[in-house]
Structure 1
Amino acid sequence: HLRLICRSCSEISHLSITDCPSLTDNCMKSIGSLKQLRVLNMADCLLITDTGIKSLTDGPCILRLRELNLTNCMRISDGSMTNLSRRCKRLAYLKLCYLDQVSENGLELIGQMDQLISIDITGTQTSDTSLKSLGNSGNLRSVTLSSCRQITDLGLTKFATSCTNLEYLNLSFCTQLTDNAIRSMAFCCKYLTTLNICSCSLLTDMSLQYLSGVCKYLYEIDISYCQLITDKGLKYLRRNSHYLKRIILIECPNISRAAIDKLVLKIPYVQYHYTNKPSELAK
Structure 2
Amino acid sequence: MHVFLCPQMFSNNDEAVINKKLPKELLLRIFSFLDVVTLCRCAQVSRSWNLLALDGSNWQRIDLFDFQRDIEGRVVENISKRCGGFLRKLSLRGCLGVGDSALRTFAQNCRNIELLSLNGCTKITDSTCNSLSKFCPKLKHLDLASCTSITNLSLKALSEGCPLLEQLNISWCDQVTKDGIQALVRCCPGLKGLFLKGCTQLDDEALQHIGAHCPELVTLNLQTCSQITDQGLITICRGCHRLQSLCVSGCANITDAILNALGQNCPRLRILEVARCSQLTDVGFTSLARVSKQSHKHTAQQCTSICITDGTLIQLSIHCPRLQVLSLSHCELITDDGIRQLGSGPCAHDRLEVIELDNCPLITDASLEHLKTCHSLDRIELYDCQQITRAGIKRLRTHLPNIKVHAYFAPVTPPPSVGGSRQRFCRCCILL
TM-score, normalising length: structure 1: 0.84
SS of the equivalent of 2:361 reads coil
Give the Cα–Cα distance (whole angstroms) in 1 for the partners of residues 145 and 250 of structure 2: 18
Q: Looking at CA atoms only, which structure, 1 or 2, has the larger radius of gyration? A: 2
Change (3 A) 1:15 1:51: same
Shift of 1:258: 4.4
SS of the equivalent of 2:381 reads strand
Answer whether contact 2:155 2:181 (CA < 8 A) is retained: no
Answer whether contact 1:48 1:73 (CA < 8 A) is retained: yes
Answer whether contact 2:223 2:250 (CA < 8 A) is retained: yes
Tell me the matched-pair count: 278
SS of the equivalent of 1:226 reads coil
Shift of 1:70: 0.4
Give the Cα–Cα distance (whole angstroms) in 1 for the partners of residues 201 and 388 of structure 2: 41
Partner of 2:59: none
Aligned match for 2:356, one of 213, 219, 222: 222
Give the Cα–Cα distance (whole angstroms) in 2 for the partners of residues 202 and 104 of structure 1: 31
Give the Cα–Cα distance (whole angstroms) in 2 for the partners of residues 110 and 40 of structure 1: 18
Runs of 5+ consecutive residues of structure 1 not aligned to the other structure: none
Change (3 A) 1:21 1:277: closer
Supply the AA of the counterpart residue of 1:27.
Answer: T
Supply the AA of the counterpart residue of 1:115.
Answer: E
Supply the AA of the counterpart residue of 2:104.
Answer: R
* Pair 1:105 & 2:205 matched: yes
* Pair 1:272 & 2:407 matched: yes
Supply the AA of the counterpart residue of 1:19.
Answer: G
SS of the equivalent of 1:187 reads helix
Change (3 A) 1:151 1:255: farther
Change (3 A) 1:4 1:101: same
Partner of 1:22: 123
Shift of 1:80: 1.9
Answer whether contact 2:158 2:184 (CA < 8 A) is retained: no
Q: Which region of structure 1 is more displaced relative to structure 2, 94-103 or 153-162?
A: 153-162
Q: Which region of structure 1 is more displaced relative to structure 2, 159-168 or 70-79?
A: 159-168
Answer whether contact 2:222 2:249 (CA < 8 A) is retained: yes
Answer whether contact 1:204 1:228 (CA < 8 A) is retained: yes
Change (3 A) 1:156 1:47: same
Supply the AA of the counterpart residue of 1:191.
Answer: T
Partner of 2:327: 196
In the TM superposition, what whole-angstrom CA distance separates every residue of 1:175-221 from its partner, at most 9, and x where no partner exists?
A: 33333344333333352233334234455557656755365633223
Answer whether contact 1:128 1:156 (CA < 8 A) is retained: no
Answer whether contact 1:82 1:106 (CA < 8 A) is retained: yes
Partner of 1:132: 234
Partner of 1:250: 383
Change (3 A) 1:164 1:251: farther
Shift of 1:89: 1.5
Shift of 1:101: 0.7
Give the Cα–Cα distance (whole angstroms) in 1 for the partners of residues 334 and 404 of structure 2: 23
Shift of 1:124: 0.9
- Higher strand fraction (1 or 2): 1
TM-score, normalising length: structure 2: 0.57
* Pair 1:115 & 2:216 matched: yes
Give the Cα–Cα distance (whole angstroms) in 2 for the partners of residues 44 and 178 of structure 1: 33
SS of the equivalent of 2:189 reads coil
Aligned match for 2:187, one of 87, 91, 108: 87
Superposition CA RMSD, Å: 2.7
Give the Cα–Cα distance (whole angstroms) in 2 for the partners of residues 23 and 119 of structure 1: 24
Partner of 1:163: 266
Identity of aligned residues (%): 31
Answer whether contact 1:176 1:200 (CA < 8 A) is retained: no
Give the Cα–Cα distance (whole angstroms) in 2 for the partners of residues 157 and 231 of structure 1: 34
In the TM superposition, what whole-angstrom CA distance separates every residue of 1:6-25 from its partner, at most 9, and x where no partner exists?
A: 01111111111222333222
Answer whether contact 1:96 1:122 (CA < 8 A) is retained: yes
Shift of 1:251: 1.1
Shift of 1:40: 0.4
Partner of 2:172: 72
Give the Cα–Cα distance (whole angstroms) in 2 for the partners of residues 232 and 185 of structure 1: 28
Change (3 A) 1:183 1:242: farther
